[in-house]
Amino acid sequence: MEIAPNIHRIPCIFGGNRIVFVHLLIGTDASMLVDTACAQNPQQDILPYMAKIGFDPKRLTYIVISHSDLDHQGGNQPMKDAAPQAILACHNLDKPWIEDTESLLTGRYMQFDEPHGFVTDAATRAAIHADTLSAPIDLTLEGGETFRLSPDWYVQAIHTPGHTWGHLAVYDPKSKTLISGEAALWNAILDVDWNPALPPTYCYVDTYLATLDRLMNMDIELLAPAHWQLQRGSAVGDFLRESRNYCLRVEQKLLDFAKSSGSFTMRQAMEHVGPAVSSWDKAGDGLLVYPFNGNLQRLVQRGQLIEQRNADNIITWSLSQ
């Protein structure tokens, strides 16, 4: 649907009951697609929507990927096949993971296997490859770039790190709309029925909190996030504040657990702290490793926890003495 003048929000279904929204901006001189969802979504959702509104994909000027995740970049090659003239762009810091699926798998999704004793099995690796059809990046961004879509319409790329180092949002000053992706993650990632599906997978806490502060100080009338309902007016600030508060609640719960448990591993933190900060089905608890790792690293950097390796070479944390 058209959520602001010439800005279209396209729902893409994946993983059975998951939803991600991509956004199409259509100007008189140029156009932009923000994200491509998973491998099947261009044919399943994006191109049919374009056909319904009479937009020829051969008119697409830019494909901007908000960040490195299979449900945001997985349709890159199918979209390039449909719109070979479109310039595929992303932030420089996420480029290695966006243009190569194996790098995404090993560098992003398997980054916690060795330090925490986790194992990403062959079936999971194969599923990620099937969902993520990568393509070479044509243009890298740093944030701050302006795109002229019409003589009187310019939109801006905003660097919004925290979920990943190179996360980007797109801001339209004319309608005060921010296409935010996962710059703010609320207290859960939602499914197609707006029920909690997964934890908020922020990774770099100080950076994430700084991004949220920046967004709270921007003039945003309409927030268009990737896995949540549209937020308008005062609801924008509520959404951003809850994103911040959840992150800080998790950190306090982890610190409380450290005070009561002595030395602990990531598995133990997920088992004991997870239920206190989870609203989703237990099947999603495995992704708590992303926010928990971020908060635990922050507590180490602040001198509140000590990080060590146990006899099995697994990372443990304990209170500083």
Please state the domain extents for the chain.
2-241, 260-319
For domain 2-241, which CATH number applies: 3.90.1300.10, 3.60.15.10, 1.10.260.30, 1.10.3080.10?
A: 3.60.15.10
Quick one: 24 exposed, middle or buried, by C-beta within 10 A (0-12, 13-18, 19+)? buried
How far apart are alpha carbons 211 and 188 in whole angstroms?
Answer: 18
**Is residue 205 within 8 Å of 297, Cβ to Cβ?**
yes
What type of residue is 51? A
What are the backbone dihedrals phi and psi of residue 67, each rounded to the nearest 5 degrees, phi first? -170, 170
Residues of the chain with pLDDT under 50: none
**Is residue 1 within 8 Å of 23, Cβ to Cβ?**
no
SS (H, E, C) the chain: CEEECCEEEEEEEECCCEEEEEEEEECCCCEEEECCCCCCHHHHHHHHHHHHCCCCHHHCCEEECCCCCHHHHCCHHHHHHHCCCCEEEEEHHHHHHHCCHHHHHHHHHCCCHHHHCCCCCHHHHHHHHHHCCCCCCCEEECCCCEEEEECCEEEEEEECCCCCCCCEEEEECCCCEEEEECCCCCCCEEECCCCEEECCCCCCHHHHHHHHHHHHCCCCCEEEECCCCCEECHHHHHHHHHHHHHHHHHHHHHHHHHHHHCCEEHHHHHHHHHHHHCCCCHHHHHHHHHHHHHHHHHHHHCCCEEEEECCCCCEEEEECC
How far apart are alpha carbons 244 and 205 in whole angstroms?
Answer: 10
What type of residue is 2? E
Give me the pLDDT at residue 283, please.
Answer: 85
Buried b (16+ CB within 10 A) or exposed e, 228-250: bebbeeeebeebbebbbebbeeb
